Structure 1
Amino acid sequence: MLSIGVQEFLQLGKHHAIYDVRTPTEYAHAHIPGAYNLPIFSDTERAEIGTLYKKYSREKAIRQGFDIFGPKMTSFLDNLLLHGHPIGDTILFHCWRGGMRSNAMAWLANFYGFNALTLDGGYKAYRNFTLERLANTLPLIIIGGYTGTGKTNILHTLSNFGESIIDLEDIAHHRGSAFGSIGCETQTSQEDFENRLSASIPDTINSSMWIEDESRKIGTNVLPLSLYTQIQKSPVIFIDIPKTIRVQFLVDQYKDTDLAILEQSLSRIKKRLGGLVYSKAEYSLREGDIATCFSYALEYYDNTYTFGILRRDQSLIHRISLSAIDHKENAQIIVDYAKKHQLIKKASKG
């Protein structure tokens, strides 16, 4: 059975399907981004085999595993064929440590006529690779600014320009503020967040990599300390847009959201706003005056961001005053500024 290292496995995974043969619960907790779940055992079956291994012997556990695996073999092959794999196709399999589960599935696939490969060391090896990758130094340029400046939209526009980016909010399924979960997918485990974050870093970075300024905690997910430290010590292009324009941008973004959902989100920063300001913001919201509500909320977020930015090395802060939220135009202004002030670094390996 041919077993390959993590980097080769992931490179092949860009063009060939990866199947995670661990249990549904293991997969749901965290997995290699893009991998399909094709569990050899259910959660109950795996627990049963584990009990036999601990109480009796390895051999007894293996025999029970074969008793469970055998009747399922045809359905496993049917599943692969339904995914459109022709005979001879390369298919990648992994389990937790690159042991019996992935080897059994690879044996079956190879016997049928596929070219099955397994991951040496399994998901555990992948996790070690991921954590090492997240500790690497990246040539970052930070897009900073107050809430409502359209930083995420600018980030996507930079990507359209051919720049390398990391969209932390998309990876975390959260926009960072008290309102950040609205319209986003449910957040995943910290481990799965880290997996997706690692996968978002390209192998080759075209000069600098752009990333939005974030707190270390984005919803329930937490940035790895090494990356957060890099963000704190990298140059920041601070986008300064008038508050009235930012309020209108936020209104346009959330105007179709149910007021009850907005009120629930606002309540998360009740203590930080203070009783009087929160009461005014809540009253405005209940009256349908979203703009006034957001204006109160921005007082808190603007002050918090200002406090944080003043704690950094001020030589790294590059402030740009912009008069409107035009993502394409603002992105071009930012790139031109970065080039003029030599903030963009040479290409490197991720």
Structure 2
Amino acid sequence: MSHTIVSTAAYREIFLSGRPLIDVRAPVEFAKGAFFNSHNLPLMTDTERQQVGTCYKHHGPTAALALGHQLVNGATKDARIAAWQRFYQQHPDACLYCFRGGMRSQITQGWLHEAGVDMAYVQGGYKGMRQFLIQTLESPALMPQMLILSGITGSGKTEVLLQRPHEAVDLEGTANHRGSSFGKEITAQPTQINFENNLAVAILRHQQRHPKRLLLEDESHLIGHCFIPKPFFDGMQAAKVVVLEAPWEQRLQRLLEQYVHKMCREFCQRDGQEAGFEAFSQYLHQSIKGISRRLGSEKANTLQALIDEALQAQQQRNDTALHLQWIALLLEKYYDPMYQYQLQRKSSRIVFRGDQTAVHQWLDEQPSMSAPR
């Protein structure tokens, strides 16, 4: 029988190459957290795993193993082996893992070997690979590399990051949320564990292509419901800051596109025109409601009324210009004062200010920030 094992030393290569992985844990385990290159083809269903776990607790490992073989037998066993075989045929470089690289990995590998397929399993399993990714995010070597791109709401920070993929990691893209109360996307955010896993993989890839500098957007510790791990966030809070500036009208137009045109278009594409517009309307009102306590009831009510007026004009005449009224008020009364307060606290760390052209030029002039030639 083959006992091929992928050692812990190969974790980095697994994530950098995107090597296909079979996750043989139960679906409930996979849903809590997994890896971007993993596919859930479980050895046991959630119910079967629960039964075996209960048996283990009351009767010990031998009885639990016997019950597992009893539950996954005959046609059930054949179907699971066939699923693993199909995956192997499509991905001959695949390897498999369970939670710790223990019994479930070994059983799966043994059954595959009997079926004529020799597939390696990952030493340490999910737990080992997850710990490796956590250590990546907590690495002290990352902290001196960080450079924070700050800028008032609507200044175009994400645009700058996306134009410099050789040195930037997009925290908001990884969290599938744009950071503010209006930052919700129409697709769900990842679980916290998957956010951390995906962020760590992004950092590994960044280190491979540009190990001397890590450009990040200025964020609070929360991006939607995903929180940035504390050691990583502490590094961001100590890093030097570049401030991106933009004229008022440009900011308004950018937020009109992001908050109104983009979101309405995506909701309508997903749900159809009528239901999509209703979902879009709810998104705007819920976004204000999310910050109503900090706004105060009077400002919140004014903004809600302006949104209703703008939505009516948009629905009746396909005119979105009135949305600029509440966006301008939101900036003047909420986002801009909050940003100015936060920027004052970072003043000692600011190394440059300028518009997009000036920021790109300044970054290009820093030797460790230039794009690889």
Which position in structure 2 is the counterpart of 1:79?
A: 83
2:350 aligned residue (316, 323, 326): 316
Matched, 1:303 2:337: yes
In the TM superposition, residue 333 of structure 1 has moved relative to its aligned partner by: 3.8
Relative contact order (alpha carbons < 8 A, sep ≥ 6): 1 or 2 greater? 1
RMSD of aligned Cα (Å): 2.3
In the TM superposition, residue 105 of structure 1 has moved relative to its aligned partner by: 1.1
Q: Provide Cα deviations, 1:319-345, integer angstroms capped at 9, x if missing partner.
A: 11x3xxxxxxx3x64232024356739
Q: Is the 8 A contact 1:109 1:115 kept in 2?
A: yes
Task: Give SS of 1:204's match.
Answer: helix
Distance in structure 2 (CA, Å) of the matches to 1:344 and 1:287? 46
2:308 aligned residue (281, 286, 293): 286
Q: Is the 8 A contact 1:235 1:318 kept in 2?
A: no
Distance change in 2, residues 1:86/1:269 (3 Å): closer
Distance in structure 2 (CA, Å) of the matches to 1:336 and 1:133? 31
Q: Provide Cα deviations, 1:67-121, integer angstroms capped at 9, x if missing partner.
A: 223333322232234336169x332111111111111112222333333111112
In the TM superposition, residue 252 of structure 1 has moved relative to its aligned partner by: 1.6
Distance change in 2, residues 1:197/1:115 (3 Å): same
Gaps of 5+ in 2: 265-279, 311-321
In the TM superposition, residue 188 of structure 1 has moved relative to its aligned partner by: 2.7
Distance in structure 2 (CA, Å) of the matches to 1:346 and 1:158? 8
Distance change in 2, residues 1:86/1:228 (3 Å): closer
Distance change in 2, residues 1:260/1:16 (3 Å): closer
Give 1:197-236 correspondences, 5 Å limit: 197-201=199-203, 202=205, 203-206=207-210, 207-236=212-241
Matched, 1:103 2:137: no
2:130 aligned residue (127, 131, 134): 127
The one-letter amino acid of 2:323's match is I
The one-letter amino acid of 1:336's match is Q
In the TM superposition, residue 200 of structure 1 has moved relative to its aligned partner by: 0.9
Q: Is the 8 A contact 1:91 1:114 kept in 2?
A: no
The one-letter amino acid of 2:369's match is I
Q: Is the 8 A contact 1:145 1:151 kept in 2?
A: yes
Distance in structure 1 (CA, Å) of the matches to 2:19 and 2:81? 17
Distance in structure 1 (CA, Å) of the matches to 2:244 and 2:8? 40
Q: TM-score, normalised by structure 2?
A: 0.83
Normalized per residue, the structure richer in helix is 2
Choose 140-149 or 309-318, whichever is displaced more. 309-318
Distance change in 2, residues 1:296/1:26 (3 Å): same
Give 1:1-350 correspondences, 5 Å limit: 1-12=3-14, 14=17, 16-71=19-74, 72-83=76-87, 85=89, 89-136=92-139, 137-138=141-142, 139-159=145-165, 163-183=166-186, 185-201=187-203, 202=205, 203-206=207-210, 207-256=212-261, 257=264, 258-288=280-310, 289-299=322-332, 300-320=334-354, 322=355, 330=356, 333-340=358-365, 344=369
Task: Give SS of 1:241's match.
Answer: coil
Q: Is the 8 A contact 2:182 2:259 kept in 1?
A: no
In the TM superposition, residue 253 of structure 1 has moved relative to its aligned partner by: 2.0
Distance in structure 1 (CA, Å) of the matches to 2:177 and 2:260? 18
In the TM superposition, residue 194 of structure 1 has moved relative to its aligned partner by: 0.7
Q: Provide Cα deviations, 1:268-311, integer angstroms capped at 9, x if missing partner.
A: 11121222222221111111021111112223122222212211
In the TM superposition, residue 263 of structure 1 has moved relative to its aligned partner by: 1.1
Gaps of 5+ in 1: 323-329
Which position in structure 2 is the counterpart of 1:325?
A: none
The one-letter amino acid of 2:303's match is A
Q: TM-score, normalised by structure 1?
A: 0.88
The one-letter amino acid of 1:306's match is Q
Q: Report how many aligned residue pairs link the two structures.
A: 333
Distance in structure 2 (CA, Å) of the matches to 1:341 and 1:82? 50
What is the percentage of aligned positions where both structures have the same residue? Answer: 27
Q: Is the 8 A contact 1:90 1:117 kept in 2?
A: no
Distance in structure 1 (CA, Å) of the matches to 2:238 and 2:367? 16
Distance in structure 1 (CA, Å) of the matches to 2:197 and 2:341? 31
